[in-house]
Structure 1
């Protein structure tokens, strides 16, 4: 098939959604499909067999586009509409693979050109809007109806977790749904890269580590406030925070100083995926303090595969994958997180037990091979649907 994939984000970047979309593109290319990708101007060019990357026009000031809703994203999506229309006039596509909010563009394409689309739902747009802007709570029913329209007009929906699958079923119980969770990014035997990322500032002390962006929904404020409680019981502990933009790091470094824990918190900045295996193994405990969102953080699968213990907030974003046998789950408030982290840092036997259970689980359920099998089953259904119905 000739497929148009709409990726409304900077592509490629080494973070959640772009990593997942790169995997989908590699899958589609290996399956013999010819794929045109339309994405933002920002991002690194990558070579993927049978895939051609097209970008919207570069506009001064339209860069450093963050995850989540923003004015820059709105402008970029508007530019995508025009670029998409031009591509549709030039090329006859059999299918559109629409990621996130581009499903609304794909819905219009289906009305105008009759081309069916798959809705790649990495999050609930309705939930995301209201969580980001609580004052828009009164608009939630309207946002939910728009989301439902995008689901119903698609020929199938690809989700990354059980919570999103439930939302799809609520909109259209009969809609074909493929649930393909993210996978571990760690490599076997790890070309470890650990020597490149040794953390001398930890000096052999107990290490709690967070890896990821520093957006508000990730719960970094909760982590810092909780770690202050941890230091009461484990005064020599170190918190290592990996990732984030320079301005975010400066903000949270200031926050740590304000809390009086600046000397116990290390900000490393971003690190390449290639050193992730060695990096995670240097932690005694890996922490995911996320507060918002329904989708499970991609980092969780690599955390589970690392051989280090995992601590996470007891929210559905985590509990749809994690349970008390493989992770230390805590209520999303500072004292609970701090006490839990202290207990885990002081108990090597508990760390080992949780880590072993976690690794066995992720190697059984969330390998790249398992994800590929699920994706193959979903796309076999979509291909049959396209052949049967035609555009």
Structure 2
């Protein structure tokens, strides 16, 4: 099939949604589909075999699009609508695959051109608005109404987590809603990665957080939790990710709490080095306080065999349980108790890490992602195409 994929984000950036978009586009192309990907004008160019990458024209004065809702993003969404309309007028597409809010742009275009509409739902958008702007009740309710309508209208919904799958199946036929979780990145060898973050701990256990420093990630709460741990039992906290302003804000918080010597904010690091950093940690932290979609980093955390300290919210508990992670109340005290226990119980760390890694290998591998996507897209066709056969080496006699 010929697919137009609309991804309303800077592309490429090494963070959750753009990574998922790249994985899906490459997987669809690898399955024999012809994929045109339309993204915002900003971001890095990356090689994607079989994928034709298009960008919107640059709206005047917009050189950066931050994470989440913003006036700049809304303007870029409008530019994307017209860019998508031009592509659809020039050629025939069988499918319009819309990521997040792009479904509202794709809906009339897919209807006009009689193309299948695929809603790639990475989050509940109305909840994001309600969380970020609690007083914006009317816009949040309107967006919730439109989301339900989009679930009903879509020929296929790809839900990134069970919570979104449940929400979609509440208004749409179950066979049109498929679960497509993110991927646990396999260790690519971390070629070129040499940074020794373990040395920063100076013999103490090392707790590591990887990701952006937006408020919903709860990194400020994690720093507050560290301050509650007995100084004689306190691990070193290393934080990878964040923009310069967010890094400065979190460093200032650690300084105010008197634990600046126990926190290291390293800034961004290459995604290809992720496994190298995770392998050096004793505890992997995800202190998220809002949202229902599971953070992409959780799957790589799981694959690393290192123990996970996460908040007991739906975002985490739909993938993790008490056998595969330490799930703490989303409070500073709750995280502090978990951090101290994991820092000084090597047997528990090993047990949790092994269970999580097994689950990552069996349920959240790249192969599982590709097969889920193939089966979901097969519902748009008369029959399911056969899965490609793996190449199996024949045994050599006498060995």
Please report the TM-score for the alignment, with normalisation by the length of structure 1: 0.94
Instruction: Please name the residue that 1:186 is paired with.
Output: 186
Superposed CA deviations along residues 186-207 of structure 1, whole A, max 9, x for unmatched, are 316x346552344433223211
Please give the secondary structure, in 1, of the residue aligned with 2:269: coil
Instruction: Please name the residue that 1:213 is paired with.
Output: 212
Instruction: Please name the residue that 1:370 is paired with.
Output: 368
Superposed CA deviations along residues 72-114 of structure 1, whole A, max 9, x for unmatched, are 1111101111111111111111110000000001111133322
Please give the secondary structure, in 1, of the residue aligned with 2:379: helix
Instruction: Please name the residue that 2:380 is paired with.
Output: 382
* Gap regions ≥5 residues in structure 2: 385-399
* Gap regions ≥5 residues in structure 1: 387-391
Q: Distance in 1 between matches of 2:383 and 2:100?
A: 21
Instruction: Please name the residue that 1:152 is paired with.
Output: 152
Q: Distance in 2 between matches of 1:27 and 1:255?
A: 42
Instruction: Please name the residue that 1:343 is paired with.
Output: 341
The answer to whether the 8 A contact 2:31-2:374 is kept is: no
Residues 233, 145 of structure 1: CA spacing in aligned structure 2 closer, same or farther, 3 A cutoff? farther
The answer to whether the 8 A contact 1:193-1:274 is kept is: no
TM-superposed CA distance for 1:232, in Å, is: 4.1
The answer to whether the 8 A contact 1:196-1:275 is kept is: no
Please give the secondary structure, in 2, of the residue aligned with 1:371: helix
Residues 328, 251 of structure 1: CA spacing in aligned structure 2 closer, same or farther, 3 A cutoff? same
Instruction: Please name the residue that 2:224 is paired with.
Output: 225
TM-superposed CA distance for 1:134, in Å, is: 0.8
TM-superposed CA distance for 1:61, in Å, is: 3.9
The answer to whether the 8 A contact 1:284-1:345 is kept is: yes
The answer to whether the 8 A contact 2:190-2:274 is kept is: no
Q: Distance in 1 between matches of 2:208 and 2:130?
A: 29
| Aligned pairs (5 A) from 1:107-186 | 107-174=107-174, 176-186=176-186
TM-superposed CA distance for 1:329, in Å, is: 0.6
The answer to whether the 8 A contact 1:119-1:157 is kept is: yes
The answer to whether the 8 A contact 2:224-2:257 is kept is: yes
TM-superposed CA distance for 1:233, in Å, is: 5.5
Q: Distance in 2 between matches of 1:375 and 1:111?
A: 23
The answer to whether the 8 A contact 1:184-1:302 is kept is: yes
| Aligned pairs (5 A) from 1:89-108 | 89-108=89-108
Please give the secondary structure, in 2, of the residue aligned with 1:226: helix
Instruction: Please name the residue that 2:388 is paired with.
Output: none
Residues 230, 63 of structure 1: CA spacing in aligned structure 2 closer, same or farther, 3 A cutoff? farther
TM-superposed CA distance for 1:264, in Å, is: 0.7
Instruction: Please name the residue that 1:301 is paired with.
Output: 299
Instruction: Please name the residue that 2:260 is paired with.
Output: 262
Q: Distance in 1 between matches of 2:382 and 2:130?
A: 37
The answer to whether the 8 A contact 1:280-1:286 is kept is: yes
Q: Distance in 2 between matches of 1:367 and 1:96?
A: 26
Please report the TM-score for the alignment, with normalisation by the length of structure 2: 0.92
Instruction: Please name the residue that 1:389 is paired with.
Output: none
Q: Distance in 2 between matches of 1:110 and 1:25?
A: 19
Please give the secondary structure, in 1, of the residue aligned with 2:148: helix
Q: 161-170 or 61-70: which moved more? A: 61-70
Q: Distance in 1 between matches of 2:280 and 2:244?
A: 23
Q: Distance in 1 between matches of 2:359 and 2:341?
A: 23
Please give the secondary structure, in 1, of the residue aligned with 2:136: helix
Give the aligned length.
Answer: 384
The answer to whether the 8 A contact 1:110-1:117 is kept is: yes
TM-superposed CA distance for 1:36, in Å, is: 1.2
Instruction: Please name the residue that 1:88 is paired with.
Output: 88
Residues 180, 139 of structure 1: CA spacing in aligned structure 2 closer, same or farther, 3 A cutoff? same
Say yes or no: does 1:311 pair with 2:291: no
